[in-house]
């Protein structure tokens, strides 16, 4: 098991609105984060996770790239679609894929879209809801490489 921790939680309350920082937010099974504009049962982007270390390397703060969950101590960009991420005692997220950077990244800072390609974050769906809290442990089962 590989572990990290939640360092920041944000919800997007509206298109182009500032992110709303939370200490606790409810993840709703099959829907997304309570109060987030991306919460939708049909969406592959119910939750966007981002690494604090990538933000630090790009001189950005949590929420700057509009992620919902900022984590530290865990590399998430190598996770494959279908892998499950456990957060705290309750929440389970299923990775749906990498988040492709959009033109909005260049609105944050010119050249950011290119600089963050491949590191923009991981999209996920809520497969088991519950409370997400700043400080929660984030767990990913370690996948052993296939023996050829």
pLDDT confidence of residue 123: 97
In sequence order, the β-bridge partners of residue 6 are: 71
Q: What is the average per-residue pLDDT within 2-23?
A: 93
Q: How confident is the model at residue 147 (pLDDT cuts 50, 70, 90)?
A: low
Provide CB contacts within 8 A for 103, sequence distance 6+.
Answer: 113
Pairing between strand 84-87 and 137-140? antiparallel
Domain boundaries, the chain: 2-132
pLDDT in tens, 87-111: 999 999 999 999 999 898 999 999 9
CA–CA distance, 65 with 128 (Å, rounded to integer): 25
pLDDT in tens, 51-63: 999 999 999 999 9
Angle at CA 35, nearest 5°, toward 30 and 37?
80
CATH superfamily of 2-132: PK beta-barrel domain-like (2.40.33.20)
């Amino acid at each position: 098991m590989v572990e990290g921790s939640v360092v920041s939680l944000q919800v997007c309350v509206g298109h182009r609105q500032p992110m709303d920082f939370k200490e606790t937010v409810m993840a709703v099974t099959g829907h997304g984060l309570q109060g987030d504009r991306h919460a939708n049962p049909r969406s592959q982007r119910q939750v966007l996770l981002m690494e604090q270390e990538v933000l630090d390397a790009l001189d950005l703060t949590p929420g700057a790239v509009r992620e919902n969950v900022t984590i530290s101590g865990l590399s998430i960009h190598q996770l494959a679609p279908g892998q499950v991420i456990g957060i705290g005692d309750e929440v389970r997220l299923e990775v749906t894929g990498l988040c492709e950077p959009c033109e909005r990244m260049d609105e944050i800072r010119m050249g950011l879209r290119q600089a963050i390609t491949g590191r923009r974050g991981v999209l996920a769906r809520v497969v088991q809801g519950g409370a997400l809290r700043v400080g929660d442990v984030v767990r990913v089962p370690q996948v052993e490489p296939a023996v050829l």
